[in-house]
Amino acid sequence: MRVAKEIILTDDERAELLKLAHSKLTSVRLVQRARIVLLAAEGMQNKDIAQQVGIGRVQISRWRERYAQLRLAGIERDLPRGAPPTKVDVARLVELTTQTKPAAATHWSTRKMAAELGVSAASVSRHWRANGLKPHIVRGFKVSRDPLFVEKLEDIVGLYMSPPEHALVLCCDEKSQVQALDRTQPGLPLKKGERKR
């Protein structure tokens, strides 16, 4: 049979616990825990404290032991719950993203990077956003293979930089992958006060 830890309080500790147990500003949980410790210090058994306070014996035992080990600090806060968060090696994440490519792929995806680092895809995505990384976006500039490209470029840029006097310089450029086709629907007819569209 397990024997509950004996709680022996100093006068200062007892005064602090009484103050917490009767406080209207303290959280309900801390008031309850202070009452548990005070009753345990009076020599009561866990089952009797559980009946008086209205919670289970296991919780009584837990707070009694926490107070015996850590004193007031042991009952002030709950222990963190769940698994500890996995730490992401941000330097390695940035290095892999910017310097390498995954096997059989053109760029890193969040899932592939997460599998590589052993973390969640959401963590990878969060760190990519924080570091301004967008491996799925590729920007490029296509340079012409025309041997006279530089001369033509200088002519056009020179025209923009110093246009002829009293002249208007306009630029028309093609939009890639967009074809100029006939309209699919006829224009709107002429109406009173409005032009034909």
Q: Report how many domains make up the chain.
A: 2
Residue 100: burial class (beta carbons within 10 Å; 0-12, 13-18, 19+): exposed
The verdict on 71 and 117 lying in the same domain is no
- Statement: the pTM of the whole predicted model exceeds 0.75: no
Greatest C-alpha distance within the chain: 105
Per the prediction, the chain carries an average pLDDT of 81
Range of the domain at 36: 11-76
Q: What is the DSSP letter of 63?
A: H
Tell me if 188 is assigned to some domain.
Answer: no
C-beta of residue 82 within 8 angstroms of C-beta of residue 117: no
C-beta of residue 99 within 8 angstroms of C-beta of residue 91: no
Nearest CA-CA partner of 71 in 124, 131, 168, 5: 5
Tell me if 144 is assigned to some domain.
Answer: no
pLDDT tens sequence across 54-83: 888 888 888 888 888 777 777 777 776 776
The verdict on 71 and 28 lying in the same domain is yes
The verdict on 61 and 17 lying in the same domain is yes
pLDDT tens sequence across 155-192: 888 888 888 898 888 877 776 666 667 777 777 777 76
The verdict on 25 and 66 lying in the same domain is yes
Please check the confidence at residue 45 and state whether its pLDDT lies above 60: yes
The verdict on 21 and 60 lying in the same domain is yes
